[in-house]
Structure 1
């Protein structure tokens, strides 16, 4: 099997794992919250799952870039920016700080989900910006 294909399969599997992790972790902002903090049940497992998925996405993405000699389509840059938005909004949503209000956490989650949907749409549509 081709190396590029294996990396692509791992990348897509990690993306699926990330979607599952974001959805499962989103429930902690709606069920069993404690003040302005998310539900602590299952936190360690969900954080590990989410970090694993995001790290695999970044690692396999860089490997795929190197294998393709950095030859990318223009929509790739939008995908990278949306991935950074996803990471930063998830960090805001789940920051361990009582000062962050629940409405701010949910807004961060909303932004993360919109960017995740946008990334998937970009990959499916592959628009031509030129």
Structure 2
């Protein structure tokens, strides 16, 4: 009886070996990398197309919607005395003037406005626009 089992075991020895199984797994993993790479490429391309569609729609309607609050701008002249010691005159004082701007903004701003949002589509992409 032992002789009857040994020919079957010899014929399946290579296929059931650990090295063959590992080689098959490596080949399958490499084959599966192809669709994964294609999917990543498509997702990246869709992201770029979404940005292009958004920029295209925004160019037709204007740039970004920005709301600024009240700001006070005060021109200021800053004077600084610079004292330096010289060998001939002793101590020399020089006044330097710098033009600066002081910006004052409120801590809190309450804005009441009336605007509506509408969605514009470009292909499969949509962008919310305010008017």
Q: Quick check: which has more Rg, 1 or 2?
A: 2
**TM-score, L = length of structure 1:** 0.29
Higher relative strand content = 2
Higher relative contact order (CA 8 A, sep 6+): 1
